[in-house]
Amino acid sequence: MKPGSGSRLIVLLLAALMFSFALSVSSGRVSIGVADMARIFSNLYQNWEIAGTLMSEELVFFWIRIPRCLMAVLVGSGLAVTGAVYQALFRNPLVSPDILGVSSGCTFGAALGLVLPFNSVYLVHALSFGFGMLAVALSISLAKVISIKPVIILVLAGMVVLSFFNALLMVVKYFSDPYDELPGIIFWVMGSLSRITWDNVLIMAPFVILGMILFILLSFRLNILSMGDIQAKSLGMNPSFFRMILITVSSFMVAISVSTCGQISWIGLVIPHLARTLAGPGHERVIPVSALLGGIFLLLADSLARSVSSAEIPVGIITALTGAPVFGWFMFK
């Protein structure tokens, strides 16, 4: 990449992100155009009381669309960045953020929370996050038992844990009530942003932002790790130590995303490839570009999910339908 072109790319992607955000805010059953947005902000500037005097468009704008779009940016950016980190750590472009079983663990936890007799929204999120992190802990612990080729063993351990939690999920689905519980489980598995509130955004934002800052600060070390352990050790690095830090933080970000929105696939696999195509191999550029592209992609996918049908389509379906062909194009390119 030529000097200065990286900055121009970031500026262009920031502009595209703002455009996608505005488009997503305006999409849905309640149409909110540019004039409506101007009026809403004018009312806010005049210190109107949001709680009692806003009209339906303003209520939808402040309490549904804005938090939903912010969450789309957070989740899309987080999944894309963790995908780039995982692919660098494992030196494998086919690795995705759920390789250690974190997504399957989160999904099983959410399904378990939905079928328990004393279930609640908070219990579903807590169990989802807890089982996601448990899956990571099991994968790492299983890999440590065998010290030969730790990177390969960690991937294989993740596949074992992933299969185990997928089997547990099938057990929960089999014994769940087909009318009251099973639809909720299936909806969760497909991924959705329809139930996002400001509380979800405020809880998730610090973790995603701090995680991305850490990845950017460690991007030079990530470049070294992507060359292999021998090169890293020759430069004075402890590859196992930094790998565990990056894997733990990445898995934490994936777990909190899946526990909030369900499984949203392909972002962590496809977006890093596009980022490297645009920005080059250096992770000091790949990470911010992946974050912006991930946010743009999920915003546009969520806009499409709310616009193509009167009944909202789970956004995970849209990301799968668009992500799979794009990844196929990268494979044949």
Residue 69 tokens, joined? 């779009």
Q: How many residues does the chain have?
A: 333
CATH of 5-332, one of 3.40.190.10, 3.40.50.150, 1.10.3470.10, 3.90.1150.10: 1.10.3470.10
- Going residue by residue through the chain, which has 333 residues, state the pLDDT in tens, using 9 for 90 and above: 554 467 899 999 999 999 999 999 988 776 676 666 667 666 665 555 444 445 566 777 888 899 999 999 999 999 999 999 988 888 878 778 778 888 899 889 989 988 888 877 788 888 988 998 899 889 888 887 876 666 678 788 888 999 999 999 999 999 988 888 888 888 878 888 988 999 999 999 999 999 999 999 999 999 998 888 788 888 888 888 888 899 889 988 998 898 889 889 889 989 999 999 999 888 999 999 999 999 999 999 999 998 887 778 899 999 989 888 887 887 776
| Torsion on CA atoms 122, 126, 128, 134, rounded to nearest 10 | -170
Q: Can you tell me the distance from the alpha carbon of 39 to that of 292, in angstroms, rounded to the nearest whole number?
A: 29
pTM strictly above 0.85: yes
Closest CA to 203 of 246, 132, 134, 255: 255
| Closest CA relative to residue 263, chosen from 316, 185, 325 | 316
**Rg, the chain, Cα only:** 21
Cα gap 194→179, rounded to integer Å:
21
Q: Which residues are within 8 A (CB) of 141 and not within 5 positions of it... i.e. 6 or more apart?
A: none
What whole-number distance in Å separates Cα of residue 112 and Cα of residue 179?
16
pLDDT the model gives residue 51? 45
Which amino acid is it at 77? Answer: S
How far apart (Å, rounded) are the C-alpha atoms in residues 254 and 263?
Answer: 10
Domain spans of the chain? 5-332
